[in-house]
Copies of this chain bind each other. A is one copy, B any other.
Amino acid sequence: MVERRSFLLGLGLAAVAGGAVVDSEADAAPVDSQPGTFQLGGRRIRFVDLTHELTDQFNFAGSKRIVIDPIVGSGFAAGMNLNRLLLVEHTGTHIDAPRHFARQGASLGEIPLSDLIVPLAVIDLRARAAADPDVALMPDDILRWERAHGRLPEGCCVAINTGADPVADMREPKSPPVRRSAPGFSLEAAQMLAEARSVKSIAVDSMTLDRGSNVPAYPVHQFWLSSGRWGVEGITNLAAVPPAGAVLIVGAAPVRDATGFPVRLVALF
């Protein structure tokens, strides 16, 4: 605590001692799994939230990934509440920018909005994942999706729905705390999506693009991100989205030099 207060004071800010305001007792709120609608130019568009609430449940023991520190400043007399966040970029539902695995790769600030609004293809792996907690998307899964829905759209995001629930996993942490089984993409599938299709991004409802047994070698992270493409980890609520025909909007603040950042994910259809 002494170190923390000194640190904040060193930045010209006074922290309230012991002031984390996150209520670690309460579980993250479930996202609204039902589509809402809005009108645009006389047409009704449906939307779904694909984002987990970001809470300190995402902290690891001994390795904080989010801390909220109240700041008391000149606005306090007027009723202002204001916090400083200490945030590991890759926490909660978040984007992986190319920079995450390529030193010269694009950071979050360099990804134009046109690359963050993409067709969304959802591949359902829940049946296999129920039997294999380390399930990986394989090229055959992609071909099966295409037989039902046609060729993957140009520049799309391919999301896998494995039924993974990282919030539930963190509520009942396994020992050892880092799981060595988790759903993800196989390198073969990632190579097919990049080279035989023109896919721009991949998304997974677990917290790793690579299946758990491939951590920490990270072959998919290395291949996919260093190719200039981006990924999303911790996407949720995919069962509320049609497998084909939706558009994904990745609400990622353009933070210069960031390798990732928590996002709001919106599906439109």
Contact = CB atoms under 8 A, between A and B. Distances in A.
A258 B74 CA distance: 19
Secondary structure dominating the interface of A = mixed
A23 interface: yes
B112 A32 contact: yes
A89 B81 CA distance: 10
A16 B254 CA distance: 23
Contacts of A31: 113
A11 B41 contact: no
Interface stretch (A61-69, A127-135, A194-202): A61-69
Copies of this chain, how many? 2
Interface stretch (A98-106, A142-150, A182-190): A98-106
A262 interface: yes
Contacts of A84: 86-89
Contact of A103 (B7, B81, B99): B81
Contacts of A12: 60, 62-64
Contact of A90 (B36, B56, B74, B82): B82
A251 B251 contact: yes
A51 to B, nearest CB: 6
A206 B22 CA distance: 30
Nearest to A29: B109
B112 A216 contact: no
Most buried by B among A80, A103, A255: A255
Given A38-B247, A51-B113, 11 more contacts: A22-B257, A23-B256, A36-B114, A54-B255, A78-B216, A81-B103, A85-B255, A93-B253, A113-B266, A253-B264, A255-B262
